[in-house]
Amino acid sequence: MGTKRDQKSNFFVFLLNRERVKQSGLLRLFTVKLNWASSDKGGNNDDDEIKDTKQSSNSESLCFEYVTEVMPKISNFSGEKLKPDYMKVLPVVDPNDQKKGETCFYVYVGVGNRTVVFKK
């Protein structure tokens, strides 16, 4: 999971499949990073990429950087046959909760009152 570009990403999109949560409590989550396209338009070689996107003709415009699929886990999930029906993501702002170079998010999903902490 990575990119050839070293630019700081400011924006993330989270997409959650509304399929049933797995018995283990795992959720199927996609994350899309938005970045500013540089003049170096090298592609990426992520194995878990869904589909590459067209590059904007404007070399300094915002574009979708890459897509990854991750499986965050709901803590204390007891295997209920439930589908998530809402999602809210909040960035972690407490620096003590973050390791160096890591961006963390809290992912709140509507499966009971459960919280997923997703580290990116």
Partner 1 sequence: MTRVEALEDGTPRSLLVFGKQSAPIIFVTFSDFECTMQSELEIPSGLENRQIVDLCIWDNKAAFLFDKNAIAVFELTTRTVVFRATYADATNNISNIYFVSEHSQPSAHSSKVAPEAGMLSGFFLMTETKMQVNKNEAEKVSSRTKLLRKLHLVEIQQSEVKVKKNIERRDRLEQVDELTFGSENPKLVDFVVAP
Q: Which stretches of the chain bind partner 1, using CB under 8 A?
A: 7-18, 30, 32, 34, 36, 38, 50-51, 53-56, 58, 60-64, 67, 84-93, 103, 105, 109
- Output the smallest distance, CB 64 to partner 1, in A: 5
Q: Does an H or E element contain 91, and which? A: strand 87-91
64 or 77, CB closer to partner 1?
64
Q: What's 96's DSSP letter?
A: G
- Output the smallest distance, CB 117 to partner 1, in A: 14
Q: Is 46 exposed, middle or buried (0-12, 13-18, 19+ CB in 10 A)?
A: middle
